[in-house]
Amino acid sequence: AQKVTQAQTEISVVEKEDVTLDCVYETRDTTYYLFWYKQPPSGELVFLIRRNSFDEQNEISGRYSWNFQKSTSSFNFTITASQVVDSAVYFCALSGVSNFGNEKLTFGTGTRLTIIP
């Protein structure tokens, strides 16, 4: 069975501070994918990043960066110099493989991030 744990239910930081959202996963698959999605107050789900299990390189995209460590089964997300627009619920997700070979996503329960102006 697959599992994604986001232990931080809610985080509040003052604007311009850096913040890291934690994600720990469990899987018996040797090939898998990890994802981060953003859900702003408007409710839609916005894809942020996909990482496959064979690529442990960290990734940076503007103010966002991701740290993938297989040794600790973690895929953490850092926002640098946070802005009010970053306020949202952030979900970490893990892909499984169905009978047909496609991924089924297992989501964590999300971290609600509030940026205080």
Partner 1 sequence: NAGVTQTPKFRILKIGQSMTLQCAQDMNHNYMYWYRQDPGMGLKLIYYSVGAGITDKGEVPNGYNVSRSTTEDFPLRLELAAPSQTSVYFCASSPHRSEQYFGPGTRLTVT
Judged by CB under 8 A, does residue 38 bind partner 1?
A: no
Which residues are within 8 A (CB) of 24 and not within 5 positions of it... i.e. 6 or more apart? 4, 5, 7, 72, 73, 74
Judged by CB under 8 A, does residue 85 bind partner 1?
A: no
Which of 69, 109, 114, 116: binder of partner 1 (CB under 8 A)? 109
Inter-residue contact 20 to 74 (CB < 8 Å): no
Which of 44, 54, 57, 85: binder of partner 1 (CB under 8 A)? 44
C-alpha to C-alpha distances, 95 to 18, 40, 47, 84, nearest whole angstrom? 28, 22, 14, 30
Judged by CB under 8 A, does residue 116 bind partner 1?
A: no
Residue numbers at the binding site for partner 1 (CB under 8 A) = 4, 33, 35, 37, 43-45, 47, 50, 91, 93, 98-100, 102-105, 107-110
